[in-house]
Amino acid sequence: MKQVFPKDFLWGGATAANQYEGGYNLGGKTLSTADVYTGGNKSTPRYVTFKDAQGKIGYATRLEDIPEGATGYVVENQYYPSHIATDFYHHWKEDIRLFAEMGFKAYRFSLNWTRICPDGKLEVNQEGLDFYHQVIDELIKYQIEPVITLNHFDMPLYLADTYNGWAGRETIESFLFFCETVYHAFKHKVKYWMTFNEINILNGYPKLGIRFHDEQTVMQAKHHVFVASAQAVILGRRINPEFKIGMMVCYLLNYLLNSRPENVLASLQFNREMEFYMDVQVHGEYPHYKMKEFERKKIKIDMAPDDLSIIKQGTVDYIGLSYYMTSVSDVDSTELDRVVGNQMTVTKNPFLKTSDWDWAVDPLGLRIGLSKIYDRYRLPLFVVENGLGAYDTVNQEGQINDDYRIDYLKEHIEAMRDAIALDGVDLMGYTPWGCIDLVSTGTGEVEKRYGFIHVCLDNEGNGDMRRSKKKSFEWYQQVIQSNGTNLRVKSIILCKSF
């Protein structure tokens, strides 16, 4: 196959601290919101555990059900997957060696805010910084480019409890202190950063640290996130003008089911909910349609005098996106036509097959989406998450034949190739999600596996954490080695657990 991917294309994988790292109370780290979020599975929901103002323990499935005055609390004998996760904290050397063996050019991961700034206070925990220095040095040793997400779906529990998370303006200062600390610490080692993971679907307690779900509070919190993100871009550029700092959106492209004008409008509105975040972070202003929506809903955002000029100045260098599935707008759809998708319920697309978790598999949608984003923003794009969450089984020989995962990834790589070759999209890299098995955000389980590397751990936390290569490991190695020209599935000699 012809060379299409640029020579310096960033092939790699992605993880996030609260889903992979573990060591939740080690090395000076304090609690994050993710640390009070219990495990679950496809049919059992996750809970946030808290103590109310009277000291009574409570469980909330609906995150907004946490009562006023309650504080996040770790309850004995409950299973919290973030506490150990798949234990990168103790396996980082071994895991990075495996990433290097696959030929990774880049590794996207997030930093645990409370490992570096305990409780989100304006103090530095050197032991936390040292942990990440070791990790980054190890990556550099193998010429793997670190790509750092500054905030991935968690925050210091103290800030959530004290200031109502991102709804409180104080959180901006804490976040910027954390950013400044890590920018200075890693300024000669790290070039690629992104501010907030999936900024468009930040909601509720673990992600935004807020308990009230009225639109006014949510929008106020999101405004603070926009300001913090823009400030983080400005600050980073000041500390090292060579930094490339991007945004990250959960890209859930919406199609219309048919040409009925009401569906066209519904689809436009669905897509705008996503584009809004790109519009703000790329164009540096709140778009006209959102301002009208605020007016209609009587949402009044409390802004400091400089907020809008900060948002204007702090626009991003590239757009990172996660892409797993697409959705459909059909104003006539009933509950029966709806399925659970990536962090939201969506109308089922009759033309697409679905994953074990009912997510619509749509490789062509990736090409369409990349083209649409690039047409609108003309910034380099980076697919920083994509992948198939599936049940894997270890056969009698101790092997995992994950051909379904290879098929999924192959088709998505072909879609990226077409977006570059046929549509002229400027694509920087591809870091499939959960390159090593980790905890699912949506369901809190490990058995929804994405990895090229299997981790011996089940949904209740049993297992010895042994790492082993799946069939997809060697396939991806060959993809990277050939710079995306060889996607064939050869008869691979399967590796046993080691």
Contacts to ligand BGP by CB under 6 A: 16, 19, 153, 197-198, 250, 322, 342-343, 385, 389, 433, 440-442, 448
Residue number with CB closer to ligand BGP (198 or 330): 198
Residue number with CB closer to ligand BGP (62 or 297): 62
Q: What CA dihedral angle connects 79, 80, 83 and 85, to 10 degrees?
A: 90
Q: Among this protein's residues, is 385 annotated catalytic?
A: yes
Rounded least distance, CB 459 to ligand BGP, Å: 13
3-state secondary structure of 339: strand
Cβ partners under 8 Å of residue 167, min gap 6:
208, 209, 210, 212, 217, 220, 221, 224
Rounded least distance, CB 325 to ligand BGP, Å: 10
Residue number with CB closer to ligand BGP (201 or 428): 201
Residue number with CB closer to ligand BGP (62 or 292): 62
- DSSP letter at 282 equals I
C-beta neighbour count of 486 within 10 angstroms: 13
Rounded least distance, CB 197 to ligand BGP, Å: 5
Run of H or E residues at 219: helix 215-239
Residue number with CB closer to ligand BGP (267 or 355): 355
Rounded least distance, CB 86 to ligand BGP, Å: 13
Rounded least distance, CB 322 to ligand BGP, Å: 5
Cβ atoms of 282 and 315 closer than 8 Å: yes
Residue number with CB closer to ligand BGP (9 or 433): 433
Distance, in Å, from the CA atom of 227 to the CA atom of 167, rounded to the nearest integer, reads: 12
Distances (CA, A) of 61 to 45, 206, 257, 465: 7, 12, 32, 28
Nearest to 413 by CA among 431, 426, 400: 431
Give the tokens for residue 332.
Answer: 């006539």
Distances (CA, A) of 60 to 67, 184, 213: 9, 39, 14
Strands annotated E in 271-430: 318-323, 327-329, 338-340, 345-347, 381-385, 427-430
Q: Among this protein's residues, is 293 annotated catalytic?
A: no
Cβ atoms of 400 and 473 closer than 8 Å: no
Distance, in Å, from the CA atom of 393 to the CA atom of 57, rounded to the nearest integer, reads: 38
Residue number with CB closer to ligand BGP (19 or 315): 19
Cβ atoms of 331 and 213 closer than 8 Å: no
Distance, in Å, from the CA atom of 38 to the CA atom of 48, rounded to the nearest integer, reads: 6
Rounded least distance, CB 422 to ligand BGP, Å: 27
CA count, 13 A, side-chain hemisphere, 411 = 16
Q: Which residue has the tokens 């930094």?
A: 243
Residue number with CB closer to ligand BGP (200 or 329): 200
- The DSSP annotation for 51-81 comes to E-TTS-EEEESSGGGSPTT-EE-PPTT---G
Distance, in Å, from the CA atom of 405 to the CA atom of 172, rounded to the nearest integer, reads: 39
Rounded least distance, CB 288 to ligand BGP, Å: 28
CA count, 13 A, side-chain hemisphere, 137 = 7
Q: Which of 21, 138, 145, 198 is catalytic?
A: 198
Q: Which of 21, 138, 275, 385 is catalytic?
A: 385
Rounded least distance, CB 299 to ligand BGP, Å: 26
Distance, in Å, from the CA atom of 290 to the CA atom of 269, rounded to the nearest integer, reads: 11
Residue number with CB closer to ligand BGP (315 or 322): 322
Q: Which residue is nearest to ligand BGP (CB)?
A: 442
Distance, in Å, from the CA atom of 318 to the CA atom of 281, rounded to the nearest integer, reads: 10
Rounded least distance, CB 157 to ligand BGP, Å: 19
* Residues known to be catalytic: 198, 385
